[in-house]
Amino acid sequence: MATSLASILNLFSTPPGDPVFHVFTSLTLALTTGFLIIGRQKSVEAGQSRRLPIGCGILFIIQLGLFALYFVNKTSGFVNANFFPIFERLAASLTIIGLAWAFLDNTQRKYPTILYGILSLLLIVLALGAVFSKSLFLKNSLLTLFSIDITWQLIALALISISLILALAIRPVMIKVLTPLLLLLAGGHIFQILLTYDLQGQMGAVRLSQMLSFAWLLIAVIYYSSKQNAVKPCRKTSRATNLSAQKPILFKSGAVSQKKPPARRYSRIVGLGQPKKFEQTVQGDEMRVDTKPALVNLLLQINTAKTKTEKYQTIAQALSLGVMADVCFLASISKNSEKIHILGGYDLIRETILKADTLAREDLPNVIAAWNTGKILNLSYDDTDLRDAQTLAMLLNYHAIGDLLAYPLGLPESPLEGGVFFLSPYTGKRWDDKTLQLMGQIHQALSMVLFAPDALEEASFASSQAKTKVNKLTLATEKLYAVLTEKEAQIQEKDTLIKGLKAKFQIDRMETMTQMEQLQQKIADLDAQIANQFDFSSELEQFQKENLQLITEREQLQQELNRIKNMLRTLQTETGQTGPIRLSLENQVISLDSIAANARLRVASYLQEHHIDLETNNPDGRLMIKTDPELLQTALFELLKNAILSSDHGGTIRLEQKLSLEMGMLTVQITDFGEGLTQAEQAALFSAQHESIPGIGSVQAVRNAIRAIRVLNGKIWLKSKKISYTTFRLQIPVRIID
């Protein structure tokens, strides 16, 4: 399955699919850049960002450079064979950085730019270092093409993870386009890692993901461009009006203030007092529509709404129609949490109701800052980079919000309960003094309708609570009646049962009296029989004496048996035999290499535990002998185990095997470089009186090896030097197989 998938993916990295990939990606990026440049020229007044076309242009240059290097590599070839693969992986990583940078357009966009700039320089330096260090890496066998491929794929996945985290933190306007792009590229790099050895260094999976990603990017750009051209702001303002509208104006509560705030890029803040007149825009020919009937109808429907959701939607429709706003949102601010609740909204142009939603205070920082000081916030097309504008654009699911008027609302006991948002994404309407005067006249009544408890609602709530209590009481009464009926039936049943038990008790009592009389008669008969029996006490005493005598004899026999066992153990100790001797009856043909390999395998756990290095010298390893392999392996295992335990942590032991063809003898030497033995300690090793000897790791292991060597009719010698080494040399007669 993996091989088949790898062969399919390699179609995009080998002719004829190789040039098809380069042509497709270059053409797709060229079309995408062209659409973005044309769309920006048509919507320059909307303040469209330049980063997306610049980023797509950079990606186009990268793919064009990769395309050119492909032709150079095919025609003349590079001196360094790894140059083109490393450059292709560098281009894949730079593609991820370019896409993320192009879409992460926010008020804090300089930070992603700095981050991605540093990452790009590091990747370029890494690629150049990998190319120029090729000979060094290959000479030392430190780096292969597979390890290079996996390293670059992991770097690409790390870049995708960083970009996704930044996208979720910044939440750019086109996050719905960026997220699928990054996920498609991540899928390609993951498949590249999983199929590294099957793809044999080719970038088939990554190329397929890039083709899909660039196709999705082109489709998304065409879709948003067509959507942007379908609805254009129709603002026909005079030059004087535009120039004056670009200047921030600050109104304070009460009197009119002519003081201009410090030059800020992002907003106009207007106080809740007497508003200053904004400059009037020069509108074109418009169709005059009488909106009073519809407005009156909506106002009448407010009190007839059955739920609060319907009530909020009706109020939003009425406000949108009253001020002729493209979009109107109603919002309330939670006091107990850092949340802003969108109660409802209405899109006047599309004639659709906008659903409720919940936002964090951090999503509308400028709105909250203005409302907390009791001021109105007015944003224009020049403020599309603000977090507030981007949040409302996402909420509206539209690329722009036009001009924004955020009007705060509150109650006498609570100055800030929420507010109203008026947006003009379609018509580009500017909010003049008429809108502010209207909101100044109705904001108190609107606050009461939105946030104050309604008398009818309170009565309805109290009525519903009363009905709930009545229903609960009725249900409780029915349950009690059912329980009482059940208890009455149980009482009657118990009464009948008691009467039956009383009658049964009387009958049982009569039968018991009769049985007692019969038993008393039997007791009297038995007493008479006991008086006629013989006295068995003397016979019982005789049995007890015989039992004591048998117990004494058993203890004496047990003591004798223990004495004999001790004698046998003493005899075995004196002869040096501490275990059973097994006769060699299972001779097999085996090579000296197998003997050494099996010995290493059996002591592998000890070597790993003590970090001991086993050196093997086996010049006659391919020769075959016939002997008992189990006894021979037992002897070698026990001696190697002793050598491991005698050696220092991290030391070395040595195993040497030689075969004498003339004498038919197998000579094995096992040497450790531990504490070593003195002459007295060597003599004590071959006696059965010592269980622990300095310089010997396991006395029992050595004795087990000696017994196995004796069974094989072999001999063993010991040579040791204190604080230097200890060598066990053994000779075993074997049959050599030609």
Q: Is residue 100 predicted with pLDDT exceeding 80?
A: yes
The residue that leads in pLDDT, 700 or 138, is 700
∠ CA 82-121-114, rounded to 5°: 150
- CA distances to 90, 145, 191, 195, 466 from 188, rounded to whole Å, are 15, 18, 5, 11, 63
293-307, 624-638, 705-719: range with lowest mean pLDDT: 293-307
89-103, 230-244, 303-317: range with lowest mean pLDDT: 230-244
Question: For residue 235, what is the DSSP state?
Answer: -
Pairing of strands 652-660, 613-617: parallel
- Check: CB of residue 641 under 8 Å from CB of residue 697: yes
Average pLDDT over residues 142-160: 77
The residue that leads in pLDDT, 654 or 245, is 654
332-346, 610-624, 634-648: range with lowest mean pLDDT: 332-346
The residue that leads in pLDDT, 733 or 397, is 733
Average pLDDT over residues 49-77: 76
Q: Is residue 233 predicted with pLDDT exceeding 50?
A: no
Give the DSSP per-residue string, 409-472: E--SS-S-SEEEEEE-TTT-----HHHHHHHHHHHHHHHHHHHSPPHHHHHHHHHHHHHHHHHH
- CA distances to 58, 104, 188, 389, 577 from 101, rounded to whole Å, are 11, 5, 20, 20, 83
Q: What's the CA gap between 276 and 294, in Å, rounded?
A: 30
Q: What's the CA gap between 425 and 405, in Å, rounded?
A: 12
127-141, 373-387, 480-494, 505-519: range with lowest mean pLDDT: 127-141
Q: Is residue 215 predicted with pLDDT exceeding 90?
A: no
Identity (one letter) of the amino acid at 593? D
101-105, 144-148, 373-377: range with lowest mean pLDDT: 144-148
Phi/psi of residue 270, nearest 5 degrees:
-120, 135
DSSP bridge pairs for 655: 616, 670
Strand, coil or helix: 231: coil
Average pLDDT over residues 240-247: 31
| pLDDT at residue 670, rounded to an integer | 94
Q: Is residue 264 predicted with pLDDT exceeding 80?
A: no
Average pLDDT over residues 234-242: 33
Burial class (CB in 10 A: 0-12, 13-18, 19+), 286: exposed
- Please report, rounded to a whole number, the percentage of residues in the chain having pLDDT higher than 90: 12
**12-45 per-position pLDDT tens digit:** 666 776 778 778 888 888 888 887 777 655 544 3
CA torsion 62→117→387→161, rounded to 10°?
80
Q: Is residue 225 predicted with pLDDT exceeding 70?
A: no
Q: What's the CA gap between 179 and 181, in Å, rounded?
A: 5
The pTM for the full model equals 0.36
Average pLDDT over residues 655-673: 91
List the structure tokens of 90: 């560098």
53-62, 177-186, 292-301: range with lowest mean pLDDT: 292-301
Q: How confident is the model at residue 98 (pLDDT cuts 50, 70, 90)?
A: confident
Q: Is residue 192 predicted with pLDDT exceeding 70?
A: yes
List the structure tokens of 529: 């029989």
Q: What's the CA gap between 160 and 178, in Å, rounded?
A: 11
Average pLDDT over residues 584-610: 86
Q: How confident is the model at residue 639 (pLDDT cuts 50, 70, 90)?
A: very high
The residue that leads in pLDDT, 541 or 449, is 449
The residue that leads in pLDDT, 692 or 532, is 692
- Name the strand (E) or helix (H) holding 668: strand 665-672
**465-508 per-position pLDDT tens digit:** 888 889 999 999 999 999 999 998 999 888 888 988 888 888 88
- Name the strand (E) or helix (H) holding 364: none
Q: Is residue 10 predicted with pLDDT exceeding 90?
A: no
* Exposure letters 698-716 (e unless 16+ CB within 10 A, then b): bbebbbbbbbbbbbbebeb
Identity (one letter) of the amino acid at 108? Q
Q: Is residue 234 predicted with pLDDT exceeding 50?
A: no
Chain-wide mean pLDDT for the chain?
A: 77
Average pLDDT over residues 443-463: 77
Q: Is residue 552 predicted with pLDDT exceeding 90?
A: no
207-211, 408-412, 545-549, 583-587: range with lowest mean pLDDT: 583-587
**117-128 per-position pLDDT tens digit:** 888 888 888 877
Q: Is residue 581 predicted with pLDDT exceeding 90?
A: no
Strand, coil or helix: 268: strand
Among the listed residues 205, 159, 204, 202, the one whose alpha carbon sits nearest the alpha carbon of residue 182:
159
Q: What is the end-to-end Cα distance of the chain in Å, rounded?
A: 49
Q: How confident is the model at residue 653 (pLDDT cuts 50, 70, 90)?
A: very high
| pLDDT at residue 91, rounded to an integer | 83
The residue that leads in pLDDT, 420 or 698, is 420
Among the listed residues 44, 129, 141, the one whose alpha carbon sits nearest the alpha carbon of residue 384:
44
- CA distances to 139, 151, 204, 587, 664 from 82, rounded to whole Å, are 15, 14, 17, 58, 58
Q: What's the CA gap between 80 and 548, in Å, rounded?
A: 103
Q: Is residue 276 predicted with pLDDT exceeding 80?
A: no
List the structure tokens of 559: 């003591």
Q: Is residue 135 predicted with pLDDT exceeding 70?
A: no
- CA distances to 368, 374, 406 from 335, rounded to whole Å, are 13, 16, 19
| pLDDT at residue 201, rounded to an integer | 64
The residue that leads in pLDDT, 390 or 270, is 390
Phi/psi of residue 573, nearest 5 degrees:
-65, -40
| pLDDT at residue 105, rounded to an integer | 62
The residue that leads in pLDDT, 226 or 573, is 226
Average pLDDT over residues 112-137: 75
